[in-house]
Structure 1
Amino acid sequence: MKALQAFAAVMRSGSFTLAAAELHVSAGAIGQQIQKLEAMLGYPLFQRSTRQLWATAAAQTYWQQLQPILQQLQALHQTTPRTDTVRMTLPPSFASRWLAPRLEHLARQHPHIRLHVHTSIQPMDLVQEGFDLAIRYFTGEDEGLESQLLCPDEVRVFCSPSYQQQLSLWQVDDLSRATLYATPLQPYWAAWFDRFSSLTPQHVQAIPQIHVDQGVIAIEACSRGQGMLMISPVLVADELANGRLMEPFPCRLPLNHGYHVVHRPQRLSTAARTVKAWLLAEAQQTTG
């Protein structure tokens, strides 16, 4: 459908640039969709020169066949009850630990909005992939995006009460007896030990570490008394509240990273603005 939308916009405007402006994407994204459609159809749709763009005869015929179908779809859309679709991408751990418990609030407050959630460890290209919003863990500085802080972060460590008792972890240096869990978003064990312990770098290096690419795995393991966890406190709020995890040492490192809601620097749809405002309001309740 995206390829057809791109083709229709180019045929109406006669320009990849104008079509991109109409659909709020880049000219490169339009070009990619046209290439996909050409590959599917098996013939070229446009001829290009430095300053001009021509639709081929095959494109003209295809356009004549396509217009009635698009008109029917438009008529169907106008008779369908109003819904607004918002596509959002975010890290899997934040999606499962922070967003998921709150989705019912969004559905109750804004029942007309259809939120499509995509999770990815790596940041997605909002333009190429067609996302309206994203939640990213970074400094918030990106010239190509508008960014607003959702949840600040800091380096903190957690374990289960039973794990602390079992290994007698009463001081930071006692962690030489522990197993450390590390995640990609908070790989700061060395810096944390350097700040708060008297252990040498060699001693710290000798402590067993388990590296996992998703925080939910580390949370579950450490909640079951398998090690020490370094992770964003916003991701373990439930475990702290029900006592499955605790913070054994009040040793915290400040970070300039945090979870930010971001989008392209253009006017958002009404539905996307609503979802963004809802996210910020929910985060305000979380951080108090």
Structure 2
Amino acid sequence: MSTPRRLLPSLSSLRALEALDRLGSATAVAEELSLTQSAVSRQLQAFEHQMGLDLILRDGRRLTLTPAAQKYAGDVRQALEQIAQASLRLRIAPDGGTLNLAILPTFGMRWLVPRLPEFARLYPQITVNMNTRLQRFSFASEGFDAALHYGQADWPGTGHLLLRHEHLLPVCAPSLVRDRSALTPKDLLRMPLLHIETRPDAWADWFRAQDVALTGSLTGPLYDQFSTITQAAQHGLGVALMPDYLVEQDLARGHLVALHGAPTEAHGAYYLVWPLEKAQDPALLRFRDWLATQAEPEDPLPR
């Protein structure tokens, strides 16, 4: 279906509109786009004329967007990012194609990256681009070919490959406990608990797995990454519930101590996830088939 030309503004007008929404002033827009303020104003006027709408609020020399234009700019921002990413892939695309992968920062660095040299040796013609993401995202809006995802295999419209289960262990600084051999799981309720943003129910699930009844909410400071919560635990700020593979070295060196003997399997696991419409992409197929040979959930991670 052919889109009417009047609904396809020039890229220069769209860039000026998006930048004004993001930066808040015509002066900043002009500096970012290497234009004069007059040129920016002309681009915005041309956009208004093409749309047949008043979208710019003018107060002297100050320019702001109407609420409708602000919403439009947010939608356009995603489209401009996709165009930029597609253009970059076109410029650097090797003969074997590219794979744009979203990764979890800690698991990606500790599990995937040490294995990638083998993939590069087997498929030197394929380029793997990686971006870290902590929260869920939309494949449609961000244009990733696949993602390393933690949780349940429940993304609609996707396929998945199980990579590894996660086993959790409560740990803290040695200075925080005198006799950890006498501690029971219930005793941990009286200690400061550290929480990880991506696992909001981890402590509640762990206590239930230990048959400890909870009578209220579990409070405590919240951290966004495992690297920061590990540092907090090492400095005695509380007890962290950590994947066992991430604290092996700290336990061996005495920086942390475990407060429970055996790791407990978490409800979630690590997966490779991909949108179904890209399931037959040649680069993704090769990467997925290779990764299946690495997906041994109980295999120790490389150090």
Instruction: Give the superposition deviation at 1:235.
Output: 3.8
Contact map agreement 1:167 1:178 (CA 8 A) in 2: no
Deviations 1:64-101 (A, max 9, x none): xxxxxxxxx9xx98xx9635211011222322333333
Q: Distance in 2 between matches of 1:81 and 1:194?
A: 50
Q: Secondary structure at the match of 2:296?
A: helix
Which secondary structure state, in structure 2, belongs to the residue aligned with residue 216 of structure 1?
helix
Identify the match of residue 202 of structure 2 among 188, 198, 205: 188
Does residue 86 of the first structure (1) align with residue 99 of the second (2)? Answer: yes
- Residues 98 and 234 of structure 1 are in contact (CA less than 8 Å); yes or no, is this contact kept in structure 2? no
Unaligned 5+ runs, structure 1: 1-13, 17-32, 45-72
Matched, 1:39 2:53: no
Structure 2 portions without partners, runs of 5+: 16-42, 49-86
Q: In 1, are the aligned partners of 2:148 and 2:273 still within 8 Å (CA)?
A: yes
Cα offset for 1:130?
1.2
**The one of 137, 149, 172 aligned to 2:162:** 149
Closer, same or farther: CA 280–228 of 1 in aligned 2, 3 Å: farther
1:168–1:174 contact (8 Å) kept in structure 2: no
The answer to whether the 8 Å contact 2:108/2:148 transfers is: no
Q: Which residue of 2 aligns with 1:219?
A: 230
Map Cα deviations across residues 22-50 of structure 1 (whole Å, 9 max, x no partner). Answer: xxxxxxxxxxx966847358679xxxxxx
SS of match in other structure, 1:135: strand
Counterpart-to-counterpart distance in 2, 1:284 and 1:199? 34
Partner AA of 1:248 in structure 2: L
RMSD value, Cα: 4.0
Identity within the alignment, %: 24
CA deviation profile, 1:204-234 (whole Å, cap 9, x unmatched): 85xx732101122112332455432213334
Q: Distance in 2 between matches of 1:199 and 1:139?
A: 25
1:121 aligns with 2:129: no
Which amino acid letter does the alignment assign opposite residue 132 of structure 2? T
* CA displacement at 1:143 relative to structure 2: 3.0
Alignment pair present for 1:284 and 2:296: yes
- AA of the residue aligned to 2:210: F
2:165–2:297: 8 Å Cα contact kept in structure 1?
Answer: no
- SS, match of residue 111 in structure 1: coil
1:189, distance to aligned residue in structure 2 (A): 2.1
Question: If the length of structure 1 is used for normalisation, what is the TM-score?
Answer: 0.61
- Paired residue for 2:270? 259
Deviation at 1:199, TM superposition (A): 8.0
State the distance in 1 between where 2:10 and 2:268 align.
38
- TM-score, normalised to structure 2's length? 0.58
Rounded Cα–Cα distance in structure 1 between residues aligned with 2:251 and 2:148 = 23
Residue 167 of structure 1 aligns to a residue whose secondary structure is coil
8 Å contact from structure 1 (residues 98, 235) kept in 2: no
- 1:99-147 Cα shifts (integer Å, max 9, x gaps): 3333434333433222111112221211221111111112102331112
Q: Confirm or deny: 8 A CA contact 2:165 2:265 kept in the other structure.
A: no
- 1:210 is matched with 221
Separation in 1, partners of 2:10, 2:206: 49
Secondary structure of 1:148 counterpart = strand
Secondary structure, aligned partner of 2:121: helix
CA distance in 2, matches of 1:151, 1:116: 22
Aligned residue pairs total 225
- Asked whether the equivalents of residues 103 and 131 of structure 2 are also in contact (C-alpha less than 8 Å), the reply is yes
Deviation of 1:239 after TM superposition, in Å, equals 4.1
